[in-house]
């Protein structure tokens, strides 16, 4: 169910489109259906790597450039994944829901974030990082967030469409999740990608509750 949620504040609209999908009490089990989907889609993507860049890559770069972020220095996460596959490196399979989100990001070149909902204290605010904003990344590097597109909660920044934080990272104890979808305002199909993301999640996983915050 979609709602205008008072726990979400997008200070970067209209240039930044943002949707948050809250998933509660997901049940994970061995998922052969997802494994088969990943194998099929990666094969399809590999066959198209030498084609012209997807238009959504250009949209992501336009989003960064509008906010004076150099997309060649701070690459959007979806493009980093695309470049990884083009170098013939393996698709990262880490955690079932994260694997699905990475697959959709790679396939559609849409910017996503995935966070442990238990580690986030609303409201969630989309804004540009301030002078002293920083966090440790999932890879344990200290990331300077000044001037970057970020998501933050009452405890500070936790998400960014280039590199997410260690603080809100999903792990084996996570059962509830927050999926963030970021888009440039010219991306006319943003609602389509949001709904298709929900459809994919509901097709592969069981959960107690799902809400779309916009």
Stated as kind and residue range, the H or E segment containing 99 is helix 96-108
CB 150 within 8 A of CB 128: yes
**Gap between the Cα atoms of 159 and 39, Å rounded:** 28
**What's the whole-model pTM score?**
0.93
Reported as a single tens digit per residue, the pLDDT across 146-203 is: 999 999 999 999 999 999 999 999 988 899 999 999 999 999 999 999 999 999 999 9
Q: Which tokens hold the place of 115?
A: 């966070």
Q: List pLDDT tens digits, range 90-105.
A: 999 988 999 999 999 9
Is the separation of the CB atoms in 157 and 108 below 8 Å? no
Sheet holding 156-159, edge to edge: 8-10, 124-128, 149-153, 156-159
Taking alpha carbons only, the member of 89, 76, 73, 96 closest to residue 16 is 76
Domains and CATH numbers, the chain: 2-213 (3.50.40.10)
- Cα distances (angstroms) measured from residue 142 to each of 116, 175, 196, 198: 20, 27, 34, 32
């Amino acid at each position: 169910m979609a709602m205008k949620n008072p726990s979400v504040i997008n200070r970067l609209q209209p240039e930044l489109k943002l949707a948050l999908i809250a998933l509660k009490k997901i049940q994970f089990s061995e998922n052969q259906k997802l494994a088969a989907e990943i194998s099929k889609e990666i094969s399809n993507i590999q066959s198209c790597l030498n084609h012209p860049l997807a238009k959504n890559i250009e949209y992501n770069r336009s989003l960064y450039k509008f906010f004076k972020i150099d997309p060649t220095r701070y690459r959007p996460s979806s493009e980093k994944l695309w470049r990884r596959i083009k170098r013939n490196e393996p698709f990262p399979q880490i955690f079932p829901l994260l694997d699905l989100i990475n697959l959709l990001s790679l396939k559609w070149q849409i910017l996503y974030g995935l966070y442990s909902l238990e580690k986030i204290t609303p409201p969630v605010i989309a804004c540009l990082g301030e002078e002293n904003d920083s966090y440790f990344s999932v890879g344990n590097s200290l990331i300077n967030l000044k001037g970057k597109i970020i998501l933050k909660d009452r405890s500070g920044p936790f998400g960014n469409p280039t590199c997410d934080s260690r603080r809100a990272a999903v792990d084996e104890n996570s059962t509830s999740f927050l999926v963030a979808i970021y888009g440039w305002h010219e991306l006319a199909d943003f609602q389509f990608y949001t709904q298709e993301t929900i459809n994919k999640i509901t097709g592969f996983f069981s959960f107690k509750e799902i809400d779309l915050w916009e």
